[in-house]
Amino acid sequence: MKRTAIVGLGIIGASLARALKARGLSVDGYDQQPETLDFALRNGYIDGVAEYMRSYDNVFLAIPPKAAISVLQNATFKDGAFVADICGVKGVLEKAVYAAPRNYRYVGLHPMAGKETSGIQSSSEKLFCGANLVITVAKNTDADALNEAREFARLLGFGKIVECTAEEHDAKIALTSQLAHIVSNAYVKSEQVAHCDGFTGGSFQDMTRIAGVDEQMWTELYMLNRPHILAELEGLIDHLTVYKKAIAEGDEEGLRRALAEGKAIRKKIKRRND
């Protein structure tokens, strides 16, 4: 039987371990936090501790990008091993992998799944069921490894699977994930937030749900995807300026037009997702 290792047992790594074990695979894991590793062992999320990468046929790196790059460049892997990172940026990892010959077969994965909470205690073996998965493909990507990634995706119950370049992934994620977290985090800084009891509803909950980011991880993601996130931030600021100008000048027609444009775009998004 092929052996699988998961490095990093936060919400994503632990959920992956639990899901693979629930489907009959043997899974070892590693986390730099001893209490996290102990929790995973005590609760049966993993079968053992993954100490040597060269012992495994499949390796998933569910750790921050810089740590993943270090492992990809410096660890000793089994010849021909399937190695996948599960990071929120892909361009820098792909460059690091293909900067020199490697004895393993690399594929970039990004599950579009998670919660507003983090850590191993937030994990679930059903986290990926029906979720989207992005697989990044380069000219160097091994065809068999790509097929194995697709098989893992089907095994884990992902819904829509998208294959694209690392560049396209990073550009899209800057909008769909990274910008959304920045907006939520900035939104809660209003002085009124502390005095809103009784005034909040679904809109407030939706806007604030993802404000509680892990500042270490998200700072790293933003810095490694600077060109794309800056472009999205500049675009957002430009759009907000239109609303601000219309309100400041009492331009009702301009404000209606801006709101109608956004409403029409939202309708198109909803139709595509229905």
User: Per residue in 150-204, pLDDT tens?
Assistant: 999 999 999 999 999 999 999 999 999 999 999 999 999 999 999 999 999 999 9
Residue 1: pLDDT band by 50, 70, 90 thresholds?
Answer: confident
Question: For residue 164, what are the contacts with CB-CB under 8 A and spacing of at least 6?
Answer: 134, 135, 136, 137, 172
Q: Give the residue numbers spanning the domain of 26.
A: 4-164
State how many domains the chain has.
2
Q: What are the angstrom distances between the C-alpha of 41 and each of 50, 120, 148, 177, 264? A: 11, 12, 27, 32, 50
Question: For residue 144, what are the contacts with CB-CB under 8 A and spacing of at least 6?
Answer: 105
Domain match, 53 and 130 both:
yes
Domain match, 12 and 73 both:
yes
| CB 65, CB 29: distance < 8 Å | no
Residue 263 belongs to a domain with what CATH number?
1.10.3660.10
User: Per residue in 152-162, pLDDT tens?
Assistant: 999 999 999 99
Residue 19: pLDDT band by 50, 70, 90 thresholds?
Answer: very high
The reported pLDDT for the residue numbered 93 is 97
Domain match, 84 and 149 both:
yes
**Residue that the structure tokens 């092929």 belong to:** 2
Domain match, 154 and 175 both:
no
Mean pLDDT of the residues in the chain: 96
pTM of the model: 0.93
DSSP, residue by residue, 6-60:
EE--SHHHHHHHHHHHHTT--EEEE-SSHHHHHHHHHTTS-SEE---GGG-SEEE
